[in-house]
Amino acid sequence: MKALMLEEYSHLEVVDVPEPACGPDEVLIRVAACGICGSDVHGYDGSSGRRIPPIIMGHEAAGVIAKIGADVRDWKLGDRVTFDSTVYCGACDFCTQGLVNLCDSRQVVGVSPGDYRRHGAFAELVSVPARILYRLPDVFDFKEAAMLEAVSIALHGVSVAQLKGGESALVIGAGMIGLLTAQAARAAGCSSVMIADVDAARLEMAKEVGIPDTLHLSGNDLVAEVLKRTNGRGVDVVLEAVGRAETVVASIECVKRGGTVTLIGNIQPEVPLPLQRVVTREIRLQGSCGSAGEYPEAIRLMASGAITVKPLISAVSSLEEAAGYFARLHGREDGLLKVVVTP
């Protein structure tokens, strides 16, 4: 089969590789669409350390079952499916509590951090355990279905914030996850949702998906504007979708006393923390990693139109064109947000 292989950092090549093995509890999926995630772009240049070459990347995928393992039940050839990017064991303490994103033996499709290598879906075929599959409605376009993984991450970030409804929310970062998180916060019943970024074009995309309250600000200017709009109180919850020092600090400054900052972004491994501001204002810092069973809700919300992804897809690429799109995404080309590859 053909696959897009990261042969070395910043060098992708379409190669012929053997068809993946299909174990007794696995299915082989003919990939119809696979999105290029921001984490793939950081893996492409080696900055994340989680895509050690050679590796076939890609974990935001959807397609059709082409082969079924001997022990697999409830699935048949031709079923339209997507799958969790996390490969969890299903048996450890975390998994039995439904916290599959924290599985003791967690792996991620299309990732090679050094202790394992699991080839992904920038290929004609990918093999995954049947336990991580989700069935797609017939009306779902495969290209939009490839966005379900990102939607599930946004929903998880909102879920762990433990919203009750009626909260004021600020999303910092209008990248893919931020734009979806803002929609997820709205769907969860927030009374107001603001979104901030330094990229005006991305804020225009926020308006396209129904989040009109945009702030083209950062740092102290962002904090001052949020406090002005909330009469000095701060918002109830901040959903941080960048993962840099300045945006984490701004999140803490923008939230009210007793409020929650959910940290979804994950670019810098360490950031300075204004400890006294967190302690004396009794702010809850909540990490969010991947998703934990939000796929059915993601499918429901997309099917109903409560979350829309079509405006966020900038381009559709063949496998052969994908290397060029990786380079363009890495160069932060204006107007290029999400590229979906159709192997």
* CATH of span 2-147+309-341: 3.90.180.10
pLDDT at residue 48, as a whole number: 84
> What distance in Å separates the CA atoms of residue 55 and residue 48, rounded to the nearest whole number?
14
Select from 104, 124, 87, 110 the least CA-distant residue to 39: 110
**In this structure, how many other beta carbons lie within 10 angstroms of the beta carbon of residue 33?**
23
> What distance in Å separates the CA atoms of residue 330 and residue 313, rounded to the nearest whole number?
16
76 to each of 66, 71, 146, how far by Cα in Å?
Answer: 9, 12, 20
Mark out the alpha helices in 121-274 (DSSP H runs): 142-145, 148-160, 176-187, 200-208, 219-229, 245-254
> What distance in Å separates the CA atoms of residue 276 and residue 279, rounded to the nearest whole number?
5
> What distance in Å separates the CA atoms of residue 57 and residue 38, rounded to the nearest whole number?
12
> What distance in Å separates the CA atoms of residue 214 and residue 277, rounded to the nearest whole number?
26
Mark out the alpha helices in 45-107 (DSSP H runs): 93-96
| Span 123-151, pLDDT tens digits | 999 999 999 999 999 989 999 999 999 99
Average pLDDT score over residue span 264-276: 91
19 DSSP assignment = P
Looking at domain 154-287, its CATH class is alpha beta
Average pLDDT score over residue span 38-51: 90
Per the DSSP assignment, residues forming a β-bridge with 12 are 6
Tokens matching residue 61: 């995928």
Band the pLDDT of 11: cuts 50, 70, 90.
very high
> What distance in Å separates the CA atoms of residue 95 and residue 102, rounded to the nearest whole number?
8
Average pLDDT score over residue span 171-180: 96
| Span 277-310, pLDDT tens digits | 999 999 999 999 999 999 999 999 999 999 999 9
> What distance in Å separates the CA atoms of residue 343 and residue 340, rounded to the nearest whole number?
10
Q: In what order do the strands lie in the sheet with 214-215?
A: 214-215, 192-196, 168-172, 235-240, 255-263, 284-287
> Which residues in 243-278 are b (16+ Cβ under 10 Å) and which e?
bbebbbbbbbbbbbeebbbbbbbbbeeeeeeeeeee
Q: Give the chain's radius of gyration (CA, Å).
A: 20
Tokens matching residue 325: 């799109």
> What distance in Å separates the CA atoms of residue 336 and residue 48, rounded to the nearest whole number?
21
Q: Taking the domains of the chain in order of start, what are their residue ranges? A: 2-147+309-341, 154-287
Per the DSSP assignment, residues forming a β-bridge with 235 are 255
| Span 241-267, pLDDT tens digits | 999 999 999 999 999 999 999 999 988
Tokens matching residue 220: 């102290």
35 DSSP assignment = E
Sign of the four-CA dihedral 247, 244, 306, 283:
negative
